[in-house]
Amino acid sequence: DIDHLNLRVQKELVEWLNWLKADIGFDGWRFDFAKGYSADVAKIYIDRSEPSFAVAEIWTSLAYGGDGKPNLNQDQHRQELVNWVDKVGGKGPATTFDFTTKGILNVAVEGELWRLRGTDGKAPGMIGWWPAKAVTFVDNHDTGSTQHMWPFPSDRVMQGYAYILTHPGTPCIFYDHFFDWGLKEEINRLVSVRTRHGIHSESKLQIIEADADLYLAEIDGKVIVKLGPRYDVGNLIPAGFKVAAHGNDYAVW
């Protein structure tokens, strides 16, 4: 174990980070198992190395009901992510992985898309509260891949990408999905839609519909995304929008 409260440890880690930055060329940090040490310590490392970007892995359990499924309200879970960023410095480069969105998406794409509209009408994950500081993802090396600890439903992975690549937050693409699963072209189409229309971490999200078999949302008035098997949604799509990407149970206009 590393004693992060030890001043010598802090000094040597800061020196190492600055070496990585100045000599090797890295300009961003990922804080693994960030709940294992205080946000105050992470703040020291960030303040003294001044990365352009930093993201923390704060993986805690969602709140579950008696049916074994996540509660609709996950405010306590996303509040923990927000609190970490607040303590480290909300005006700095610190962000956190949006585990709240990941956990809700996991279940929502299995015929419960109503979960993607929170009780306040906004996105139910961290992106609904502080999207500029939320790094969204479908799976990572822990949740998916060989560890398979909390995997996204494998036949619905592209629905997950259709969501995070059109929504606020900073989306993160999993290496395995991009290079090993044969999804590179499909994911790239969604990336190009995001880039072409200037969708960014603080883009405005308007949720049009969130039902069991349909989630429909408009982003910045430029992009509309549909998740779910419901096919006939033409009456909900404003004139002038054309399909830019589509796949199994998702479409983007």
Q: Which residues are catalytic?
A: 32, 57
Closest CA to 78 of 99, 95, 64, 106: 99
Burial class (CB in 10 A: 0-12, 13-18, 19+), 23: exposed
Long-range contacts of range 1-10, CB-CB < 8 Å, 24 or more positions apart? 4/37, 4/38, 4/41, 5/41, 10/41, 10/44, 10/45
Residues sharing a CB contact under 8 Å with residue 137, sequence separation 6 or more, in sequence order: 97, 98, 102, 164, 171, 172, 174
Distance of CA 110 to the CA centre of its chain: 18
Cross-strand partners of 83: none
Long-range contacts of range 213-218, CB-CB < 8 Å, 24 or more positions apart? 213/111, 213/113, 214/113, 215/108, 215/113, 215/116, 215/117, 215/163, 217/116, 217/166, 217/167
Question: For 155, which DSSP code?
Answer: G
